[in-house]
Chain A
Amino acid sequence: TQLLEQSPQFLSIQEGENLTVYCNSSSVFSSLQWYRQEPGEGPVLLVTVVTGGEVKKLKRLTFQFGDARKDSSLHITAAQPGDTGLYLCAGDRTGGFKTIFGAGTRLFVKA
């Protein structure tokens, strides 16, 4: 059972298009992180969201944490080829110790 469901699993879009990646769960998380991973490298932390309803922006990336802290989304505006990579959401449950990872969304942005 996947505790964190990520969708879509794969996305191929043209440069300049917008996209949204979703991360959903039936569990409540005390915090949720988004990572980006390129082939042959470790994941790089993009953002951590902690408060329900929180919205964080990182240049063209907008991250939102659901009010109930069970879901999150990542929106990319005007995608560029440099955004290509594997995007992973990960959550820490209240009282838990292990970080739970979603299956990842593989994004390919064509020039």
Chain B
Amino acid sequence: GAVVSQHPSWVICKSGTSVKIECRSLDFQATTMFWYRQFPKQSLMLMATSNEGSKATYEQGVEKDKFLINHASLTLSTLTVTSAHPEDSSFYICSAREGGTGGEETQYFGPGTRLLVL
């Protein structure tokens, strides 16, 4: 199957700093990537949809100035958590959608980035 990578896999930062997370589709082109946030023992919460060459679409309640998304190429999307605070600590997961045949829309997930803000 298709491979999606994330970097870094974990990061610890001080409150007030900004953190950038990269999401790459390694063996396919992804016109659309998704960013999710997951709290312990909970399901995935969609934060935003990232489209190559255009502005991201944010879900209700997600601050676009807080979580900056850039999708500069068909294989790379970045999420920047600006002025991070302890409540931003979470597991951030990206996914990339690969078009299929017969109506299937396959979404492949990255391994996630664990962020801890002190």
The chain A residues found within 8 Å of chain B, CB to CB, are 30-31, 33, 35, 40-45, 48, 50, 88, 90, 92, 97-99, 101-104, 106
Contact = CB atoms under 8 A, between A and B. Distances in A.
Q: Is the interface of B mostly helix, strand, loop or mixed?
A: strand
Interface in B91-118: 91, 93, 95, 102-112, 114
Interface of B: 1, 4, 6, 34, 41-44, 46, 49, 91, 93, 95, 102-112, 114
Contacts, number: 56
B42 A103 contact: yes
Nearest to A4: B43
Contacts of B108: 45
Q: Main secondary structure on chain A at its contact with chain B? A: strand
Contact of B44 (A30, A40, A43, A48): A43
The 6 closest A-B pairs by CB, nearest first: A42-B109, A104-B43, A42-B112, A42-B111, A103-B43, A43-B109
Contacts of A35: 109
Contacts of A50: 102-104
